Structure 1
C-alpha cells in the first residue's frame, strides 16, 4: 500500500469511525441491548484508534520515501491495519446489527491483523535504531 492510499484510507476510516460512534450513541441506544451496544462501541473505538495509527504509518512512509528509504514494510503495516479494521470492527458491527453470531469466530482474525500491524511497527523501529 502506498503512503497516499494509506492517508486517504485513514481519513475515510477515521470519519466512518466517528460516524459509527455517533450512530451507536444516538441511533442504536434505544434499539439494541446494553451488551450489543458495548460490542458496537468496541468496534468504533478500535476503528478510530487504528485509523490514527494508519495515518501515522502513512505519514512515516511518506517521510521515509522522500529520504530515499525503503517503505515496503510500511505498506505491509498499513495493509494489516486496514484489514484488521475491516475484519475486527466490521464483524462487531455486523453482529450488533443482527448478523450471524458465527461472525464472532472471525473477529479474532481482525485482531490478529491489528497485532501483526503493531509488530511490523516494532520491526520498523528496530531497523531505524540500527
Structure 2
C-alpha cells in the first residue's frame, strides 16, 4: 500500500512545515495522528500482504485500506476548516472502526 504510506509522509511534512503556524497546537496533534495512522496502516498492509492468508481474505485488506482513507483523510479537512467539513466528524470513528475490524478479521 505505497499510496497510503506516501499520503502519510506528505501529510506529515505538510503539517510540520506548511500549517504548523496556521493551526492551534491541539489541532496539529490531530493532524499528526492522521499522518501516523496512514504510515502505520500502509506499512501494516504491506507487511501482512506477504502472508498467504491475506491474499484470500476478502474483507481485511479492503476494510483496513478504506478505514485508513476515511480516518486519515477526514482529519486534515476537519483541522483546516472544521465548520465547512463538520459533516466529516462521524467519518473519522467509522474509519477507525473499519481499520480495527479489518485487523481483527485477519486475526480470526
TM-score, normalising length from structure 2?
A: 0.89
Q: What does the per-residue CA deviation read over 1:54-110, in whole Å, with 9 as the maximum and x for residues that have no partner?
A: 1012122xxx2xxxx78321x421111110111101110110121422312221100
Name structure 2 gaps, 5 residues minimum.
none
* Partner SS state of residue 38, structure 2: helix
Equivalenced residue count is 106
Q: 1:54 aligns with which of 27, 31, 45?
A: 45
RMSD: 1.6
Name structure 1 gaps, 5 residues minimum.
1-9, 124-130
Matches within 5 A, 1:102-121: 102-121=87-106
Compare the two structures and name the one with the higher helix fraction: 1
Deviating beyond 3 angstroms after TM superposition, the runs of 4 or more aligned structure 1 residues are none
TM-score, normalising length from structure 1?
A: 0.75
Whether the 8 Å contact between 1:88 and 1:107 is mirrored in structure 2 is: yes
